[in-house]
Amino acid sequence: MLQSINPANGELVKHYESHSAEGIEKIINSVDKTWHHWRNTSFMFRSQLMQNLSSLLKTRKNELATLMAIEMGKVIREGIAEIEKCAWVCDYYATNAESFLENEPIPTEANSSYVAYRPLGTILAIMPWNFPFWQVFRFAAPTLMAGNTAVLKHASNVPGCSLAIEELFREAGFPENVFRSLLIGSKQVAKVIQHKAIKAVSLTGSTPAGKSVAALAGAELKKCVLELGGSDPYLILADADMEIAAKKSAAGRLLNAGQSCIGAKRFIVEEKVYPHFLELFTHEMAAAHFGDPGDENSTIGPLARADLRDELHQQVVDSIEKGAEVIIGGEVPNRKGAYYPPTILENIKPGMPAYEEELFGPVASVIKVKDLQEAVLVANDSVFGLGAAVFTANTKKGENIAEMQLEAGACFVNDFVKSDPRLPFGGIKTSGYGRELSEQGIKEFTNIKTVVVKH
């Protein structure tokens, strides 16, 4: 039994019956059977269905945003933006998949030799609650356009979103068993990975979840793509425009109530401009209004679950006990719901949770450094490597830092880190491996096949 709890008030939204072992087997076998037909459909056919799906998303964006607000607390304006981004990724792959997967001729002694990209089969997606539509669509659009089929194990607190996504594919005209949702708990995932019809796994989630799935997939010699946790550093250099840096930093920290793997988390500031940046940053963070996600005036909603809020607060408390100081926030509000205020901690040192761990909520760690060299050392002094940003008036210098010095999968100059269908997305170190989105992403779940012909 799965249940949806509204994090804004703690009230039960709905109970959902979990799929039985027999139900899981039936769904996976049906999806695998469908793959043998789907793999041979034309790109033109798949593209038309994907465009239908994009149109549906655009038409129903308000309804779907409301569903997210109810199930995991995302404010309506961000929910609408998320659905629009899902439509974008559908359109992007509808337009580009065929050219991305064209055969690539390679000159050899043979009459003909080339690389072909062929689908693998049925792919399992294990997806989180924080972007309950986007995380799924950024996987599903390229995966299905490549000729694979998919089954989804969504986070247990967003079963309504999971079923809504399945229904969207069906309404768009996709064959019934090209994309299916499994309503199961985490304990049932191992058997799904082990199922002979599952050819690969995509996981977006925590680092511990990634290690577990990687071990299970590795034991079965099945490929996996992992997008895991992050503790993204933002370098604020002395020559940066402080107002832009403060605004972008706050936006990157508060998006989705701070519940983003690529959310800005550690703000590493040169001491020369530290007081000025901190003043502006504090103003931006304090201006955020947290409230009912259904209220258009709310800037951020509650965290997705009360236990997640409590875990975040404990990290703050532990950091304070080790010497961190609170600039704003840092206390659980006396109100119903899983709310946590925008919080800034300074005097952050190694050994504190605010330095070492991912803070999955609206809590910012501000770290003072002497110069650029120390800033880069602190930025890279992390087990994570998902995203990073640098703010500087010297864009050439910023570009060099981003490309050559920062250890992360996505590095931005004078902007906060975000995903884009046109660019590969993923991390290094304990932030995972493999890439989603772009041309690189669609090739992850293909058989990169060598074909050689001699007459």
Catalytic residues: 227, 261
Rounded to 10 degrees, what is the CA torsion of 56, 61, 62, 67? 100
- Closest C-alpha to 406, from 424, 430, 390: 390
CA distances in angstroms from 153 to 198, 342, 432, listed in the order given: 13, 31, 19
Tell me the three state secondary structure of residue 226.
strand
- Tell how far CA 50 is from the center of its chain: 21
d(CA 216, CA 210): 10
d(CA 304, CA 339): 9
Tell me the three state secondary structure of residue 357.
coil
d(CA 391, CA 251): 14
d(CA 86, CA 128): 15
Give the count of beta carbons closer than 10 Å to the beta carbon of residue 395.
Answer: 12
- The answer for residues whose C-beta is within 8 angstroms of residue 14's C-beta and 6 or more apart is 3, 4, 159, 160
Q: What is the DSSP letter of 133?
A: T
The tokens 């299970």 sit on which residue? 216
d(CA 148, CA 447): 11
- The answer for residues whose C-beta is within 8 angstroms of residue 15's C-beta and 6 or more apart is 1, 2, 3
CA distances in angstroms from 327 to 74, 221, 232, 278, 345, listed in the order given: 25, 49, 20, 9, 6
Phi, psi of 325 (to 5 degrees): -120, 140
d(CA 201, CA 150): 10
The tokens 């037909």 sit on which residue? 37
The tokens 């933006």 sit on which residue? 81
End-to-end alpha carbon distance in the chain: 60
Q: What is the DSSP letter of 183?
A: -
